[in-house]
A and B are shown apart, each in its own frame.
Chain A
Amino acid sequence: MNKKRDRLQIIHDILSVIREKNGKIKPTHILYKSNLSYQMMEEYLQELIQKGFVVEHLSKQGKTYSVTERAHNYLEHYGMIKSFVENFGLD
Chain B
Amino acid sequence: MAYLYLVPQWFFGFGIAMEIIFGLIALWVALYAFKIFSFSSQRELKLFGSGFLLISISYFLWAIVNFFVLNQLDDHSWALNLGQITLLGKIGVYLHIIFYLAGLVTLLYMILRVKNVRAFFLILLLTFIAFFVSANKAFTFYILTIFFFGLIFFHYLQEYFSKKHSPRIISVLLAFMLLVISHISFLFSASSYGYYVVGHLIELAAYILILVSLMFSLKK
Contact = CB atoms under 8 A, between A and B. Distances in A.
B39 A85 contact: no
A87 B39 contact: no
A51 B33 CA distance: 18
Contact of B216 (A6, A52, A83, A85): A83
State which size class the interface on A falls in.
20 to 34
Interface stretch (A21-29, A38-46, A57-65, A74-82): A74-82
Interface in B158-203: 159-160, 164-166, 168-169, 171-173
B118 interface: no
Contacts of B172: 87-89
Interface string A44-56: 0000000111000
Given A8-B40, A74-B39, A74-B40, A87 B171 contact: yes
Interface string B125-163: 000000000000000000000000000000010011000
A88 B164 CA distance: 13
For chain B, what secondary structure do more than half of its interface residues adopt (helix, strand, loop), or is it mixed?
Answer: helix
B198 to A, nearest CB: 27
B175 to A, nearest CB: 10
A1 interface: no
Contact of B36 (A4, A6, A81): A81
A81 B44 contact: no
B169 A84 contact: no
A88 B42 CA distance: 13
Contacts of A82: 220
17 contacts: A4-B164, A74-B40, A77-B39, A77-B40, A80-B36, A81-B36, A82-B220, A86-B166, A87-B213, A88-B33, A88-B48, A89-B156, A89-B169, A89-B173, A90-B45, A90-B48, A91-B164
Interface of B: 32-33, 36, 39-42, 44-45, 48, 110, 156, 159-160, 164-166, 168-169, 171-173, 213-214, 216-217, 219-220
Given A86-B165, A88-B172, 17 more contacts: A6-B164, A52-B41, A74-B39, A77-B40, A80-B36, A80-B39, A81-B42, A84-B45, A85-B36, A86-B168, A87-B216, A88-B33, A88-B217, A89-B169, A89-B173, A90-B42, A90-B45
